[in-house]
Amino acid sequence: MQLDAFSAPGRFRRGNLHTHSTLSDGALPPAEVCRRYRAEGYDFIALTDHMIGRYGYPVADTTPFRTDGFTTLLGAELHSGAMENGELWHILAVGLPADFAPAHAPGFTPEPGQESGPALAARAVAAGAFVAVAHPQWSGMTLADARSLAAAHAVEVYNHGCAIGCDRPDGFQIADLLLSEGRALTLIATDDAHFTEPDHFGGWVMVKAEENTPEALLAALKAGAFYASTGPELHDVRVGDGALHVACSAVSTVIVQGHGCAAQALHGASMTRATLPLERFARSPWIRVTVVDRAGRRAWSNPLRGF
């Protein structure tokens, strides 16, 4: 059994799914944001400015910045309603139609009578978007909050801006608990770049697609044909003969995680292949892989179920 990212046709394309510009609270105009990501070797980005009234409810038109080797997906960070801690929902939506109707969200403070976050997420999915639970640790999100986003495709498990700005970068606890409850979720790493601090070029997805087009990339994201990274490359993740087999760029640690405390690690020097036994995962409905290189950078597979 092989993960979809490694069995799907096409090749891997590097992209950032969470980025801001001067259309909301970013420091750079959309054209310069796209230029910088293109110059850094990215294949695509999604400009996801805050869709609130203060900024005119933008869905950035990045189509003029597409080239033969670089494309963009339309998107936004959606806001409406209050989470359990009383703060505004932040919901990442990539592949959003340009005419998507915003919720009534004048600013970053919840308003009485607003559309709920889960209802807004469901509306975005119905409109064709790939929707992710944004920066759960940064938001102070509870498990009940996360459960309520029933329409989401993914959890943002690494957010580089949150790592740099407040040391609250991840969403793994939320993702793992939801996976153990049977949710079919994938895992994304992003920048959440504003270019107001060194919050860029630190987390990305590698999406397997035959063409570098918005349509092909969006379909691959929804199908789970990608992995997330801050540096290392994953070349293959598969299960066979009672073991997990991983091929990757040179790393010092390979870990397989599952339900509860189930985990198994292998440590070494410049490992490009690893085999880990799966006896400890007999009761786990899912497993996922983390690889760590000698600089401490990580890559994460999407969950594998039914192994």
pLDDT tens, 41-60?
999 999 999 999 999 999 99
The residue-averaged pLDDT of 247-252 equals: 98
The CATH class of 234-305 is: mainly beta
The residue-averaged pLDDT of 120-130 equals: 98
The residue-averaged pLDDT of 256-274 equals: 97
Shortest CA distance to 123 belongs to which of 135, 131, 134?
A: 131
Matching residue, tokens 């070029």: 201
Question: Residue 306: which pLDDT band, with cuts at 50, 70 and 90?
Answer: confident
pLDDT, position 86: 97
Q: Within 10 A of 64 (CB to CB), how many other CB atoms are there?
A: 9
**Which tokens go with 117?**
């976050």
Q: How far apart (Å, rounded) are the C-alpha atoms in residues 300 and 234?
A: 8
| Stated pTM of the model | 0.97
With beta carbons less than 8 A apart as the criterion, state whether 97 and 63 touch: no
Q: How far apart (Å, rounded) are the C-alpha atoms in residues 46 and 71?
A: 9
pLDDT, position 307: 86
Summarised one tens digit per residue, pLDDT across range 201-236 is 999 999 999 999 999 999 999 999 999 999 999 999
Residue 175 has pLDDT above 90, yes or no: yes
Locate the domains of the chain by residue range: 4-229, 234-305
Summarised one tens digit per residue, pLDDT across range 152-168 is 999 999 999 999 999 99
With beta carbons less than 8 A apart as the criterion, state whether 60 and 33 touch: no
The residue-averaged pLDDT of 122-140 equals: 98
The CATH class of 4-229 is: alpha beta
The residue-averaged pLDDT of 129-133 equals: 98
Residues pairing with 144 in the sheet: none
Question: Residue 197: which pLDDT band, with cuts at 50, 70 and 90?
Answer: very high
The residue-averaged pLDDT of 252-266 equals: 97
